[in-house]
Structure 1
């Protein structure tokens, strides 16, 4: 049998990876934004969703710029110490770039951004590891919202289902999750299948810096601003691949 033309071996050593040039571009973009925008905010994300962050980027595109990626790279862009900072007190923002956080450069006033962040949220489906906000129990009986073809999948997730005259049916009551308990991957999938969102995508403004008033802390922490040592950026590994993708999308956007 002749060998298929599609049957080709690709060496992974030849695939492109984001290297020094990519990191340097982000650093330069951040420094450019420091000059361009009068206000900078460090925001923390709860229940991160790439699609919602991309929507925000699009919505704020005309007068703002979001960065959400490698914390250490963003720290270098702002300056990790008094000696490195590109503007006075920007190293204080760098110290707070830990965990799932990002930078917002904007022409909008501090008051506008704080009010918007306080009122903005979006409901999303919970992922595994999330603590259930309520107890969800499905009563025995037909599940008419599902087609017969999905019944094996429901069974594989642990649901006591069967086909009865071509209709997916629960043959006993089934507790999907209990309030306060951590969701398993199977439970998270079931909640999505039954259209039961529990998580909130939300942003919290940790601190800000403006060209007029300088640095301001909005969420109390135990970081010593007098200490010239900067956090190593722990927390970068959380959803690392998604964050990297977000940064590459961000760099493709026009200022």
Structure 2
């Protein structure tokens, strides 16, 4: 088992002052995980929401996930060969950027890869998501008929041409909810969620891994 190259106490001088001690708690937990687990993965994620991610955490209760605070994770693990906690760990640290997280686990590479390769969960799209299909609401369709009549003002603010007739909301013209190959805007995202269309997918992609017993680093995509 490789030994740590340095003390576990890290001065987080390159991040903002931590009045609540939250960053220090993250540092301590990261250090514990470096000692406890044999494998560390950096993963990227798209369209993440709380509920499905917590479900993954529950399934992987014998492992540990970290999200956010990229700078803290980089400093704690070590950003170069002089500051890294373990030999070659700084190669993994270099991959901690953007929307990503860390997975500490003792599961085999095959177990980890097979799970995340097959995992996917439909989610509501956020503004900026590129639609993979075209959805058009047709004029005079009954799509808004069950909505409360008080929704008419809100729908018009979102750009939908509706009028209230006999207490029922009627669509007066075709409306493009989303168009294949084009990013959706804020109003479209709100309407897609309002109407129950989940056109995005929560997906986790493994970027790289570090195997502690052999101190080896491997890129995965």
Q: TM-score, normalised by structure 1?
A: 0.75
Gaps of 5+ in 2: 1-16
1:162 & 1:18 partners in 2: Cα distance? 53
Residue aligned with 2:136, SS: strand
Shift of 1:123: 0.7
Matched, 1:197 2:198: yes
Q: Is the 8 A contact 2:39 2:212 kept in 1?
A: yes
Equivalent in the alignment of 2:10: none
Q: Which residue in 1 is equivalent to 2:65?
A: 66
Give the Å deviation of 1:18: 4.5
1:43 and 1:203 in contact (8 A); partners too: yes
SS at match of 1:57: helix
Task: State the match for 2:147 in structure 1.
Answer: 146
Structure 1 residue runs of 5 or longer lacking an equivalent are 1-16, 220-255
The alignment's C-alpha RMSD in Å is 1.6
3-state SS of paired residue (2:57): helix
2:146, 2:168 within 8 Å by CA — same for their partners in 1?
A: no
| Counterparts of 2:19 and 2:99, CA distance in 1 | 22
The worse-fitting range, judged by mean Cα deviation, of 199-208 and 134-143 is: 134-143
Matched residues, number: 202
In structure 2, what is the Cα distance between the partners aligned to 1:173 and 1:94? 50
Deviations along 1:32-70, one digit per CA (max 9) or x if unpaired, are 101111111110111232333233223322x10000011
Instruction: Report the Cα distance in structure 2 between the residues aligned to 1:198 and 1:69, rounded to whole angstroms.
Output: 25
TM-score by length of 2: 0.86
Partner residue, 2:6:
none
Q: CA deviation at 1:20?
A: 7.2
Following the alignment from structure 1 to structure 2, what is the Cα–Cα distance between the partners of residues 159 and 169? 10
Is the CA contact (8 Å cut-off) linking 1:28 and 1:77 kept in structure 2?
no
CA distance in structure 2 between the aligned counterparts of 1:81 and 1:175, rounded to whole angstroms: 50
Q: Which segments of structure 1 move beyond 4 Å, counting only runs of 4 or more? A: none
